[in-house]
C-alpha cells in the first residue's frame, strides 16, 4: 500500500518546467478542490496566487490555464501550434466524426473553411439574410405580444427563434414554436450543455473505462447527443430525396455535393474529409454553437434591460430617433446608434457567455509567459480573466455601457473585448452572431418595454456550465405602441 501511494504521489507530481499551480491529489488531481458551480471565478482567482499561466490536474490530465489579456493574446497568436483541440471520450464515444468544433489539423481547416464559405454563399452578412432574421423576429414578436404584458419565461422561445436562424441555413427551413419534436431537441441541447460543464463530464474524460459502466447524468448527455444526431440524419435523408446539386438550398445540400465530388475521385486523389459522418457532425456543431450562445446573450440582455430601466429608456430613445417606429432596424443603422451598440457590447462582456473559452491543445512545444508548454497539453484560455480584468475595465463588475463610449458619446472598440476569442480558432459564427444580436436586440426594444414582474428582483447569479446563462426567469413585455 505504501509503495502504491508513493507511486501515485510521484505520478501526480507536476512535470518539471511546468507552470506552477495548486498541489494535485493522486487520481483526482485538483478536481475536488474546484467548485464547479463557480468554476469561472475559482479559475480566475487561482491566477492571483499562481500568476497568469498556471497548471491544474483534472483527473490525470494536466491542463494549463492562461489568464489576462496579454497572456491570452500571446498564447492564441501561436498560429497552428495552439489550434488543435483535445479529443474528449465523452464526445468521441458517441459522435460519429470530427466536424468543426472538436476537430484538429487538416480536417478542421477544411471543414471550417467550407462552413465559412457556405454561410457566406447563403447570404450571411448580406441584406437578404438580414430580412430572414427580421422575419424570425416577427414570429417571435407575435408570440411575446400574446402574453399581453403578463409574466412569462422566454427561455425556450428565445432558443427556438435563434436556433431557427441557423436551422434555416443548415436545413433550409425554420421550426414552428409549437413543434414538439424540435422543442424536445433544444431541451436536450440545454440539458447536454449543463452536464458538459459538470464534474461528471470531467470524471468521464479522466476515467472513461470506469464511467462508461457507472450510471450517471453523463449517459443522459450521450443519449441526448444521439437523439440530436438522429434528427439531423432524418433531415439529411429528406434532403437526398429531392437534392439538386445545381440548385443548393442550404448547408446540407452543399455538403452532399462535396461528398459526391469526393466519391468520384480515385483513392490516391482523396484528400478530404467529406463524408456522411462529417456532414452529421458539422451540422450538429453549427446547430449547437449557433443556438445556445446567441440566445443566452439575448436573455442576459432582456434581464439587464428590465433591471436598468434608465438604460433601456436611453436605448429606446436612440431607436426612436434613428429608426423610428415605421420601419425595421437594419445593420446600416448600427454606426448611427453608438449607445445601443455600447449596451450590446457591455451585455456580452458582463454576460461572459463562454467563460473558459473552448479548450485548445498544443501540437508543438510552445513558449507562453516564460514557460514551455509541452506538445499535447490542454490549454484553457480563460476568457473570464480578460472580460473582468481590472487593468482593462474601469468598473469590471458593474454593468456599465460607458466602457464602450468616449466622452463625446461615440462608440469605442476595446481590445480586451474578446467574447468570441481571438486567433485561428476565433468563433466561426462571430459575424452572424453580431448581426443577430444587433437586429434582434434593437427589434425587441423598438417594439417592447421589459420589466420584472411586480415584487420580483432580477437575479444575476449565473447558471454555470460550459456557458454562463441566466437562471430561468419570468419577464413582462409591454407593447410600446400602447
Ligand atoms: C467557437 C463564442 C455564436 C459557431 C467559439 C468560441 C467562442 C465562441 C469563445 C471558441 C473560440 C476558441 O476556441 O478560441 C461565441 C459567442 C457567440 C457565438 C459569444 C454569440 C454571442 C456563434 C454562432 C455560431 C457559432 C451564432 C454559428 C455559426 C461556432 C463554431 C465554433 C465556435 C463552429 C468552433 C470554431 C472552431 O473550432 O474553429 N464561439 N460564439 N458561434 N463558434 Fe461561436
183-217 residue pLDDT tens? 988 898 888 888 888 888 888 988 899 999 999 88
Answer yes or no: is the C-beta of 468 below 6 A from any ligand 1 atom: no
- Is residue 421's pLDDT more than 80? yes
Q: Name the pairing type of β-strands 476-479 and 448-451.
A: antiparallel
Which cell is 137 given? 423576429
**In the predicted structure, residue 482 carries a pLDDT above the cut 60:** no
Query: Would you give the DSSP letter of residue 360?
Result: E
ipTM: 0.99
> What residue owns the CA closest to ligand 1's atom 15?
420
The answer to whether 295 touches 159, Cβ cutoff 8 Å, is yes
Q: Give the mean pLDDT of 415-441.
A: 96
Q: What is the mean pLDDT of residues 421-449?
A: 96
Give CA–CA dist 4/23, Å, rounded: 19
Question: Whole-angstrom Cα distance, residue 154 to residue 240?
Answer: 35
Residue nearest to atom 21 of ligand 1 (CA): 294
Long-range contacts of 146-149 (CB under 8 A, 24+ apart): 147/476, 147/477, 149/476, 149/477, 149/478, 149/479
CA distances from 242 to 115, 222, 253, 327, 350 (A): 22, 31, 10, 37, 46
Does the pLDDT at position 404 exceed 90? yes
Taking the CA of residue 353 as reference, the ligand 1 atom at the shortest distance is 19
pLDDT band, residue 266 (cuts 50/70/90) = low
pLDDT of residue 32: 85
What's the pLDDT score for residue 359?
Answer: 94
pLDDT, position 173: 93
pLDDT of residue 325: 93
Mean pLDDT over each residue of the chain, to the nearest integer: 92
- pTM of the entire predicted model: 0.94
- Give the Å distances, CA to CA, from 204 to 299, 324, 382, 467: 31, 53, 22, 19
- Cell (9 digits) for 377: 497539453
Share of the chain above pLDDT 70, in %: 97
pLDDT score of 264 more than 80: no
pLDDT at 97: 67
Cα gap 57→380, rounded to integer Å: 12
Mutate to test the pocket of ligand 1, among 282, 285, 286, 289 (most ligand atoms within 8 A of CB): 289
Look at residue 15 in the predicted model and tell me its pLDDT.
77
Distance of CA 162 to the CA centre of its chain: 13
What are 89-124's pLDDT values in tens digits? 988 888 866 899 999 988 899 999 999 999 999 988
Q: H or E element: which one contains 39?
A: helix 39-50
C-alpha cell at 115: 462552413
Phi/psi at 130 (5° precision): -55, -40
CA-angle at 437, arms to 180 and 282, nearest 5°: 60
Average pLDDT over residues 335-339: 98
Cα–Cα distance for residue pair 124/90, rounded to 1 Å: 32
Cα distance between residue 473 and residue 300, in whole Å: 10
Going from the Cα of 427 to the center of ligand 1, the distance in angstroms, rounded, reads 3
| C-alpha span between 456 and 222 (Å, rounded) | 37
Establish whether residue 289 lines the binding site of ligand 1, counting it when its CB lies within 6 angstroms of any ligand atom.
yes
What number is the average pLDDT over the span 252-261? 93
Give the other-Cβ count within 10 Å of 324's Cβ.
Answer: 9
End-to-end CA distance of the chain: 76
For residue 419, which atom of ligand 1 is closest to its CA?
Answer: 19
Centre of ligand 1 from the C-alpha of residue 297, in Å: 13
Ligand 1 and 380: CB distance under 6 A: no
Ligand 1 centroid – CA 151 distance (Å): 32
Residue having the nearest C-alpha atom to atom 34 of ligand 1 = 101
Residue 146 has pLDDT above 70, yes or no: yes
Q: Quick one: average pLDDT of 302-318?
A: 98
> Is a pLDDT exceeding 70 seen at residue 326?
yes
- In angstroms, rounded to a whole number, what is the distance separating the alpha carbons of residues 276 and 270? 15
HSE, CB side, 13 Å, CA atoms: give it for residue 404.
Answer: 24
pLDDT at 384: 97
Rounded to an integer, the average pLDDT of 29-34 is: 87
Q: State the closest ligand 1 atom to the C-alpha of 296, by its place in the atom list counted from 1.
A: 21
Residue 321: exposure state from Cβ atoms within 10 A (0-12, 13-18, ≥19): exposed
- Closest Cα partner for 348 from 413, 443, 287, 428? 413
pLDDT surpassing 60 at residue 457: yes
Tell the residue nearest (CA) to atom 37 of ligand 1: 101
Residue 421 CB–ligand 1 contact under 6 Å: yes
Q: How many residues does the chain have?
A: 482
Give yes or no for residue 258 having a pLDDT over 60: yes
Measured in Å, residue 138 CA sits from the centre of ligand 1 at: 26
pLDDT bucket at 125, cuts 50 / 70 / 90: confident
406 Cα to the center of ligand 1, angstroms:
29
- What is the per-residue pLDDT for 60? 81
Cα–Cα dist 229/283, whole Å: 9
Rounded distance between C-alpha atoms, residue 205 and residue 58, angstroms: 9
Q: Name the residue among 190, 209, 237 with its Cα closest to residue 472.
A: 190
- Radius of gyration of the chain from its Cα atoms, rounded to whole angstroms: 23
Residue 304 CB partners (closer than 8 Å, separation 6+): 311, 347, 350, 399, 458
Which of 10-19, 35-44, 321-330, 409-418 is predicted least confidently?
A: 10-19
Q: What percent of the chain has pLDDT over 90?
A: 72
Amino acid at each position: 500500500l505504501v509503495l502504491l501511494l508513493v507511486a501515485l504521489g510521484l505520478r501526480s507530481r507536476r512535470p518539471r518546467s511546468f507552470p506552477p499551480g495548486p498541489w494535485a491529489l493522486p487520481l483526482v488531481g485538483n478536481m475536488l478542490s474546484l467548485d464547479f458551480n463557480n468554476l469561472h471565478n475559482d479559475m480566475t482567482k487561482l491566477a492571483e496566487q499562481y500568476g497568469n499561466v498556471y497548471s491544474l490536474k483534472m483527473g490525470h490530465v494536466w491542463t494549463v490555464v492562461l489568464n489576462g489579456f496579454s497572456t491570452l493574446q500571446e498564447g492564441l497568436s501561436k498560429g497552428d501550434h495552439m489550434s488543435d483541440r483535445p479529443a474528449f471520450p465523452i464526445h468521441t464515444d458517441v459522435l460519429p466524426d470530427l466536424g468543426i468544433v472538436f476537430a484538429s489539423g487538416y480536417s478542421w481547416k477544411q471543414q471550417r473553411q467550407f462552413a465559412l464559405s457556405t454561410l457566406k454563399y447563403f447570404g450571411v452578412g448580406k441584406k437578404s439574410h438580414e430580412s430572414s432574421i427580421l422575419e424570425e423576429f416577427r414570429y417571435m414578436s407575435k408570440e411575446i405580444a400574446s402574453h399581453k404584458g403578463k409574466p412569462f419565461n422566454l427561455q425556450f422561445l428565445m432558443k427556438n427563434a435563434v436556433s431557427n436562424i441557423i436551422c434555416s441555413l443548415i436545413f433550409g427551413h425554420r421550426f414552428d414554436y409549437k413543434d414538439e419534436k424540435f422543442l424536445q431537441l433544444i431541451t436536450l441541447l440545454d440539458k447536454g450543455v449543463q452536464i458538459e460543464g459538470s464534474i461528471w463530464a470531467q470524471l468521464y474524460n479522466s476515467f472513461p473505462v470506469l464511467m462508461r459502466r457507472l450510471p450517471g447524468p453523463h449517459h443522459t448527455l450521450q443519449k441526448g447527443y444521439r437523439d440530436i444526431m438522429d434528427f439531423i440524419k432524418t433531415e439529411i435523408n429528406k434532403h437526398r430525396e429531392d437534392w439538386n446539386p445545381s440548385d443548393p438550398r442550404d448547408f446540407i445540400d452543399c455538403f452532399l455535393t462535396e461528398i459526391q465530388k469526393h466519391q468520384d475521385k480515385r483513392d490516391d486523389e482523396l484528400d478530404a474529409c467529406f463524408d456522411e459522418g462529417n456532414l452529421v457532425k458539422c451540422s450538429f456543431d453549427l446547430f449547437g454553437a449557433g443556438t445556445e450562445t446567441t440566445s443566452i446573450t439575448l436573455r442576459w440582455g432582456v434581464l439587464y434591460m428590465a433591471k436598468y430601466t434608465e438604460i433601456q429608456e436611453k436605448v429606446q430613445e436612440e431607436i426612436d430617433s434613428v429608426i423610428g417606429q415605421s420601419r425595421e432596424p437594419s445593420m446600416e443603422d448600427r454606426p448611427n446608434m453608438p449607445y445601443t451598440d455600447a449596451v450590446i457590447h457591455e451585455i456580452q462582456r458582463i454576460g461572459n457567455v463562454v467563460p473558459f473559452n473552448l479548450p485548445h491543445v498544443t501540437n508543438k512545444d510552445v513558449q507562453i509567459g516564460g514557460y514551455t508548454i509541452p506538445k499535447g497539453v490542454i490549454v484553457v484560455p480563460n476568457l473570464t480573466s480578460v472580460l473582468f480584468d481590472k487593468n482593462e475595465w474601469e468598473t469590471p463588475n458593474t454593468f456599465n455601457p460607458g466602457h464602450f463610449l468616449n466622452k463625446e458619446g461615440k462608440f469605442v472598440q476595446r481590445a480586451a473585448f474578446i467574447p468570441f476569442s481571438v486567433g485561428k480558432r476565433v468563433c466561426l459564427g462571430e459575424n452572424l452572431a453580431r448581426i443577430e444580436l444587433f437586429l434582434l436586440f434593437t427589434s425587441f426594444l423598438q417594439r417592447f418595454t421589459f420589466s420584472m414582474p411586480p415584487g420580483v428582483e432580477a437575479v444575476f447569479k449565473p447558471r454555470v456550465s460550459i456557458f454562463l446563462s441566466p437562471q430561468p426567469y419570468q419577464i413582462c413585455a409591454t407593447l410600446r405602441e400602447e
